[in-house]
Amino acid sequence: MKMSIEVECTPEEARRFLGLPDLSPLNDRLVEAVAERMEDNMNALRPDQFVKTWFETGAQAQDTFMRLMDASLRSAAPPAKK
C-alpha cells in the first residue's frame, strides 16, 4: 500500500508545527556581522588604504632588516685591535 500526504504551509508554519525555535533574530545578527566585516575588508582594499599600509609595513620591514644585517656583520667581524 502506498500513501501520499501533501501539506501546504509556509516555512514559519512548519517550524511552529514541529516545535523548532525561531532563529530569525540570530540569523539577522549574523548577516549584519558578516556584512560589517565585509565592508571593513573592502575598505582595507581601497587603493589609497592599500598603498598606505604597504608603504608603512615596507619601511618598518626595511628598517628591521637593516638592523638585523648590521647586528650580523658586527657579530661576524673580528674584534678591533687596540
More confident residue, 59 or 72: 72
Q: Is 4 a member of any domain?
A: no
Q: Is 23 a member of any domain?
A: yes
DSSP string, 25-42: HHHHHHHHHHHHHHHHHH
- Count of domains forming the chain: 1
Number of H helices, E strands in the chain: 3, 0
> Domain range for residue 22?
15-75
Q: Is 26 a member of any domain?
A: yes
Q: Is 8 a member of any domain?
A: no
pTM above 0.85, yes or no: no
- Model confidence pLDDT, tens digit, residues 5-34: 998 999 999 999 999 999 999 999 999 999
